[in-house]
Amino acid sequence: MSLAAQDKPPSQIVEERAPEDLDALLELWIASWRATYADIDFDARRGWFVDRLATLEANGASTLCLRIGAPPLIKGFVVIDPRTGWLDQICVHPDQFGAGAAEALIDAARRISPEKIRLDVNADNLRAIRFYNREGFVQVGEGALSQSGRPTVVLEWPASFPQPPK
C-alpha cells in the first residue's frame, strides 16, 4: 500500500514496510532515540525493538515508512494498529527533525486510523508533546512507566476534535 504524503514534494512517499527494511528501521530507531535520550544505550535494546515490531505486526499493526530522496531512503516510520488506533512507535531520523517528516507520518497514520489515534509519550519529552499538541492531540491520562523508568502521559487525537491548520 502506498500513501503519497499530501502537500509534500514528489520525492517523499509513505508506504508499508518491506521485510528487507528491518535493518534500516532498527538503525533509524536507535539514531532517533539516541538524539532524544543520549543517556540511554539504545544499541542494547536492539533485540527488544525487533521483537516488539514483530509482535505488533503479527497482531495487526501496520508499519509505514517515510522514504525521501532519490534513491529513496527511509527517514522515518510509524507503527499503528488501524483497528484500535494505538500508535506504538513513531521515529524520525535526526536529520529530518523539524522538516515535516513527523507530520507526514501522523497524516499517514490518520489515513489508516481515521477515527482516533492514541499513544503514550515520555512526560519529559517536551519536544514530542509540543508536536503532538500542534497536531491536535490532547492528554487523556497518565501512562505506565516507560521501559526507561520515565513517567508517560497518554495522548489522543479523536477525529471529532477541530484539526490544526496545515
What is the span of the domain harbouring residue 29?
Answer: 2-114
Output the DSSP codes for 32-76: HHHHH-TTS-GGGGHHHHHHHHHHHHHTT-EEEEEEETTTTEEEE
Q: What pLDDT is stored for residue 98 in this prediction?
A: 85
Residue 151 lies in a domain: no
For the chain, how many structural domains are there in total? 1
> Regarding predicted confidence, which is higher, 66 or 143?
66
CA angle, residues 104, 158, 122, in degrees to nearest 5: 70
Residue 159 lies in a domain: no
Residue 82 lies in a domain: yes
Cα separation, 142 vs 119, whole angstroms: 11
Residue 39 lies in a domain: yes
pLDDT for residue 162 is more than 80: no
Residue 119 lies in a domain: no
pLDDT tens sequence across 71-104:
889 999 999 999 999 999 999 999 988 888 999 9
Residue 88 lies in a domain: yes
Residue 131 lies in a domain: no
CB 50 within 8 A of CB 89: no
Q: Is the pTM of this model over 0.95?
A: no
Task: Report the interhelical angle of 22-36 vs 46-58 (nearest 10°).
Answer: 120
Residue 83 lies in a domain: yes
The enclosing domain of 99 has a CATH number of 3.40.630.30
Mean pLDDT of 138-150: 76
> Regarding predicted confidence, which is higher, 36 or 107?
107
